[in-house]
């Protein structure tokens, strides 16, 4: 058995149950996959996981907080956060991984949460801090390095370049007017990067 998180001073009282925490997240994941976002209620999660509603509310402020944590977990599983080799090639990889990572329930989950984020600034902040900013940081660095190496034109602000690259992917994800195919990813990369490259 893994010893208690001794990093946290472990105040008085019975410690939070890690088993319960896991059971909740697993149940939420199961429900999302099998029955969709709307059916993934706190009530249903409690019933499925065997963890009491009160315990869930002790661990997360609301449904959104729980699902954001789950989303981050699922996404990081599918596409580990990129922390090395900030090259142009890394951008290709990140874009591809992103497309894959957001393919399953996580895409649906992200979309739904962005809907909630519209009404609740806390949700938005949590999504940005938990998911977008960390990954964006890496991509921005890759852009900067490519600019330093002369691979990309320097008159494009890195943040804008990132949006030009990732925007089309997320656009199709959100609106779903057309499917996100492997070919579409290739085309996005090619046509956008050619435009941004100094060889233009």
| Site residues for a second copy per CB under 8 A | 36-38, 108, 111-119, 124, 127-128, 132-133, 136, 156-157, 159-161, 163-164, 166-172, 174-178, 184, 187-188, 191-196, 200
**Residue 44 binds to DNA (criterion: CB under 7 A):** yes
Number of residues that bind DNA (CB under 7 A): 27
**Residue 52 binds to DNA (criterion: CB under 7 A):** yes
Within 10 A of 54 (CB to CB), how many other CB atoms are there?
Answer: 8
Closest residue by Cα to residue 192 from 98, 97, 107, 92: 92
**Residue 2 binds to DNA (criterion: CB under 7 A):** no
**Residue 179 binds to DNA (criterion: CB under 7 A):** no
Q: How far apart are CA 124 and CA 79, in angstroms?
A: 21
- Angle (nearest 5°) at CA 14 between 63 and 53: 25
**Residue 14 binds to DNA (criterion: CB under 7 A):** yes
**Residue 89 binds to DNA (criterion: CB under 7 A):** no
Closest residue by Cα to residue 87 from 37, 141, 42, 133: 141
Cβ closer to DNA: 46 or 90? Answer: 46
Contact 153, 126 (CB under 8 A): no
Cβ closer to DNA: 77 or 120? Answer: 120
**Residue 30 binds to DNA (criterion: CB under 7 A):** no
């Amino acid at each position: 058995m893994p010893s208690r998180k001794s990093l946290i001073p472990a105040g008085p009282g019975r410690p939070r149950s890690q088993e319960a925490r896991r059971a909740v997240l697993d149940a939420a994941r199961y429900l999302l996959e099998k029955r969709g976002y709307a059916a993934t209620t706190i009530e249903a999660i409690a019933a499925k996981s065997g963890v009491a509603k009160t315990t869930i509310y002790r661990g997360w402020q609301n449904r959104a907080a729980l699902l954001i944590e789950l989303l981050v977990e699922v996404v990081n599983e599918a596409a580990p956060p990129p922390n090395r080799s900030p090259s142009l090639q890394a951008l290709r990889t990140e874009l591809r991984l992103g497309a894959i990572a957001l393919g399953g329930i996580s895409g649906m989950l992200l979309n739904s949460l962005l809907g909630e984020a519209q009404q609740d600034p806390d949700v938005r902040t949590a999504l940005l801090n938990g998911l977008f900013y960390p990954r964006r940081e890496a991509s921005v660095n890759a852009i900067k390095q490519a600019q330093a190496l002369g691979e990309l034109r320097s008159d494009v602000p890195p943040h804008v370049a990132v949006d030009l690259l990732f925007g089309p992917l997320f656009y199709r994800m959100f609106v779903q007017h057309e499917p996100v195919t492997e070919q579409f990813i290739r085309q996005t990369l090619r046509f956008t990067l050619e435009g941004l490259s100094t060889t233009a």
